[in-house]
Amino acid sequence: MPDYPGTRHTGWNRLLVGQVAVLLLVNVMVDTVITAPVIVLPRMIEHFGTDQPAWLNSSAMLAGAMWSPLLGKTADRHGKRKVLVLTLVLAAVGALVCMVAPSLWVFILGRVVQGAAVASLFLTVGIVRDLCAPRIGMIVTGIVTTGNAVFGIGSAFLFDVLGDVYGYQVVFVVSGVLAVSTAILVRFLLPESLVRTPGRIDVAGALLLGGGLALGAAYLSFGSEYGWFRALPLVLAGAAALVGWFLLARRVPEPVVDITDLGRPLVLTLLVVVLGTGAYQSMLQLFSLLTEVSPDQGLGYGLAGGAAIGLLLGLPSIGIVLGGTLAGALATRIGPAATLAAGVALGTVGTVGLFAAAATLPLAAVCSFLLSLTAGTLVTSGFNMASILAPPQRQAAVSSQVMVMIALGSVVLNFVGAAVLKATRVTVGGATANSATGVFGYVGIGTAAFLVAGVLAVSLVRTQRGTPATERVGSSHGLG
């Protein structure tokens, strides 16, 4: 076990490069949990005989929203490295369950366990903050949170081919092996944080918050199938759980999310992240479905072709790396609030472009690339905003709130989009298919989310105007 450095890195050196490599590998594993299953989504739908793609695709992100607040508080108290190793072990167990699942609901259970890996992303960011001084830390955050997307350049093609030969299970074999390998590397090659926050862990609050989010997502999923009124008990139970969490958070001394100390800048950041990343992730799910339909079917959309899955889900990985790295570098000059706003603007252009690109593969690839730039920019800038708004002893807890917003946005907009598609299906040649109305309605929802995020991002930039990008790192007043 390496000793924790007495001073933080202020520039690049051999040790920092090695530590960044380990953290990047962790997030490659996270990519196999979040993104890689999208590539084999049509095969999973066929295997389990379901018309609920959002459950197959988003259950891990939903679980990430449930896991993150609890793991964030635990990391601040017991150490980020220790909790990161725990999340990687859970991810390996979840991957194993998914690989051998005999039914849909056992598979979803595996995805829920595997979803603990989602918390690995914000934990790697927290470790970067411990290792690096603020200026270099912003750049390293961009590399660590988006550099793993390089893996997606080849993996989209690779998983598509291997999925045809070995089935969707190959994704979870790779994910499980990576989870075990990275757990060992993190344990023996990264130092443990010296910063600790004493206190109790609000387990009840975490369960109420996670349960409320899960029941809300279930309502969006089952409402379109069984009727919105018949599924009403789900949303009522979810609302009751969230009310219970809110009341508990105001009463306990150390809630899982301190709602009394968020502050306007952090609230605006979280709202931009939930809308922007949610819109991007929902478009990613739509791309996967569009590649299964040929323009020749006459539905008014369709991108099926030999290179479609690679172009839309593989090559744009370059954009994620580019967006994240540039956002980290620019944040040291113009501040993360401005880079966050720029990411929203790119996402808006890319999503609007899909109205004209739903049946044109080259134009759709351009839109996908713009959206991938957006993804890298939003994730990096969201975490960088959290880092300058939180004191050292609360870095993991505040970063976990950003992770909750990333996961929550993805889950909600994926489920809403799936519900729109299901409600507008048509029958063509004796088989059901998504209608053009549903597809363009789906795109319209993403566009609206980006537009609202844009308004909020402009407001955030105004609140941060005149404040140097790194001035408030570690300030105890950062959340005010």
pLDDT at 359 over 80: yes
The answer to whether residues 309 and 291 touch, using CB atoms and an 8 Å cutoff, is yes
Structure tokens that stand for 322 in this block: 């580019």
Residue 473 belongs to some domain of the structure: no
The answer to whether residues 343 and 323 touch, using CB atoms and an 8 Å cutoff, is yes
Stretch among 167-171, 307-311, 350-354, 365-369 having the lowest mean pLDDT: 307-311
Q: Are residues 250 and 324 in the same domain?
A: no
For residue 305, what pLDDT is reported? 67
End-to-end Cα spacing for the chain: 37
Q: Are residues 244 and 266 in the same domain?
A: no
Structure tokens that stand for 22 in this block: 């380990």
Q: Are residues 292 and 247 in the same domain?
A: no
Q: Are residues 312 and 175 in the same domain?
A: yes
pLDDT at 88 over 90: yes
How many C-beta neighbours within 10 Å does residue 236 have? 12
User: The domain that contains 298 carries what CATH number?
Assistant: 1.20.1250.20
Q: Are residues 241 and 340 in the same domain?
A: no
Q: How many domains does the chain have?
A: 2
Residue 5 belongs to some domain of the structure: no
Where residue 54 falls among pLDDT bands split at 50, 70, 90?
low
Phi, psi of 428 (to 5 degrees): -130, 120
Structure tokens that stand for 248 in this block: 């508990």
Residue 226 belongs to some domain of the structure: yes
State how far the Cα of 218 lies from the Cα of 245, in Å rounded to an integer: 18
For residue 45, what pLDDT is reported? 81
For residue 213, what pLDDT is reported? 75
Q: Are residues 239 and 285 in the same domain?
A: no
Sign of CA dihedral 68, 71, 74, 78: negative
How many C-beta neighbours within 10 Å does residue 260 have? 8
Residue 7 belongs to some domain of the structure: no
Stretch among 150-154, 364-368, 431-435 having the lowest mean pLDDT: 150-154
Residue 37 belongs to some domain of the structure: yes
pLDDT at 44 over 90: no
- Matching residue, tokens 């594993």: 29
**Which residue would you say has higher pLDDT here, 296 or 447?**
447
**Which residue would you say has higher pLDDT here, 212 or 352?**
352
Q: Taking Cα atoms as reference points, which of 251, 238, 186 lies closest to residue 207? A: 238
Stretch among 81-85, 143-147, 266-270, 338-342 having the lowest mean pLDDT: 143-147
Indicate the length of the chain as a whole number.
480
Q: Are strands 426-428 and 431-433 parallel, antiparallel or unpaired?
A: antiparallel
Indicate the residue among 237, 255, 273 that finishes a domain. 255
pLDDT at 224 over 70: no
Q: Taking Cα atoms as reference points, which of 207, 240, 234, 209 lies closest to residue 220? A: 234
Domain that holds residue 229: 202-255
Phi, psi of 426 (to 5 degrees): -125, 160
The answer to whether residues 120 and 90 touch, using CB atoms and an 8 Å cutoff, is no
Structure tokens that stand for 310 in this block: 């690679």
Q: Taking Cα atoms as reference points, which of 298, 316, 428 lies closest to residue 364? A: 316
Q: Are residues 57 and 136 in the same domain?
A: yes
Where residue 461 falls among pLDDT bands split at 50, 70, 90?
very high
The chain-wide mean pLDDT, for the chain, equals 82
Q: Are residues 88 and 114 in the same domain?
A: yes
**Percent of the residues in the chain that have a pLDDT greater than 70, as a whole number:** 88
Sign of CA dihedral 76, 77, 82, 86: negative
State how far the Cα of 420 lies from the Cα of 293, in Å rounded to an integer: 17
For residue 221, what pLDDT is reported? 62
What's the average model confidence in pLDDT over 246-259?
Answer: 79
Q: Are residues 434 and 299 in the same domain?
A: yes
Q: Are residues 274 and 417 in the same domain?
A: yes
DSSP summary character for residue 198 = -
Q: Taking Cα atoms as reference points, which of 453, 415, 460, 65 lies closest to residue 275? A: 453
Residue 380 belongs to some domain of the structure: yes
Structure tokens that stand for 159 in this block: 């998983």
pLDDT at 162 over 80: no
pTM of the model: 0.76
How many C-beta neighbours within 10 Å does residue 459 have? 17
Residue 471 belongs to some domain of the structure: no
Q: Are residues 306 and 416 in the same domain?
A: yes
Q: Which residues on adjacent β-strands are paired with residue 428? A: 431
Residue 370 belongs to some domain of the structure: yes
State how far the Cα of 399 lies from the Cα of 80, in Å rounded to an integer: 12
SS3 432: strand
Q: Are residues 117 and 167 in the same domain?
A: yes
Structure tokens that stand for 429 in this block: 């040649």
